[in-house]
Structure 1
């Protein structure tokens, strides 16, 4: 490591640790919201699709699919700015990691809903039909068939979500959202400190690789096929 880069790393260690903590906080909040709301929404979209047990709720399916497509079509930076009044109502401010967690959570919820729906489509239809023939309710099918059969794919879906929103959290730094992205903007861009930019890039790569490795390892462990 070049001496000046090491000196910068030592000098900015408190800032780097703070930025990393803010990034992990944003990620934890948006992932938690996405797992609960996005997971439930994705399951409902799947169950209300053609040929599934809740097909009679086709209107809900069509409307929800439309909303998911609209939200996912927004570039995140535009979504972040567009809902800033709503963010101020929820978080009391439009800057900082807690404020950035609001648009991150909204984007992650609909992103994850689509991932869940697509993952559940990989469950063999015959397994679902067998459960329906035995009189299983939609809730029992979800708990004992869909979530069990698709567990490996669900772990990978969560991994994709985490990796994607690590990048999104960095984008939030452009508008004062805090985290590693904010550190890169303040030092690497505004002050032209290339060494800081290199440090933030390496840090993000390390976080992404750690999440990706852990997710793939866990997916292999839970895959019983």
Structure 2
């Protein structure tokens, strides 16, 4: 039997409308993909409504907010699951997402095709968010421009680089835009230790750090799509890159 396909469309509010052939199944099942070796724990069911031209529709509304992770999409008929292949995906509403002000908490959903060819939804859920706008690699410096969603910059704001293993941190002073949301900073420290440095911004001296990431568009997996050149800094080579979660980090290697 041919594996059924589901098309989907996303609107600017984050609602996803799924469309499947009417003859297949009665509900859709979204399953939060468990970590390797762990049992599944989080499921979300959607009723299918009969539509025209032999299709049925299910709508994943803006609420409830889905947990951060990867959700696999199944067709459910009685107790039998069938994992869905992707049909047409209309993600145009997501392309300009970085231009809209996100509310707190920030909930992002991006339908995508998995490596083995199935339909899934990548979700992020964050109390506040720093959306990366530009990463400029020039000469012997790296400049990052970003915009805050869910919190404004105020007195005492800073950018923190944290060495992922070792607990070392470096603090940088951001340059804020007039509206207190946009900011930029430059990395030109020649004494960064070798390793992976994660990037955060604190909106003020008493706030929890907010991870820098690029989430507000139609790209579910950015790591191998947006690839930046390295920057020579003193005796090190620094390369900005996006992680598997679309967070922005720095890889530092000692020259030679």
TM-score normalized with structure 1 length: 0.23
Higher relative contact order (CA 8 A, sep 6+): 1
- Pick the structure with more helix per residue: 1
- Pick the structure with more strand per residue: 2
TM-score normalized with structure 2 length: 0.21
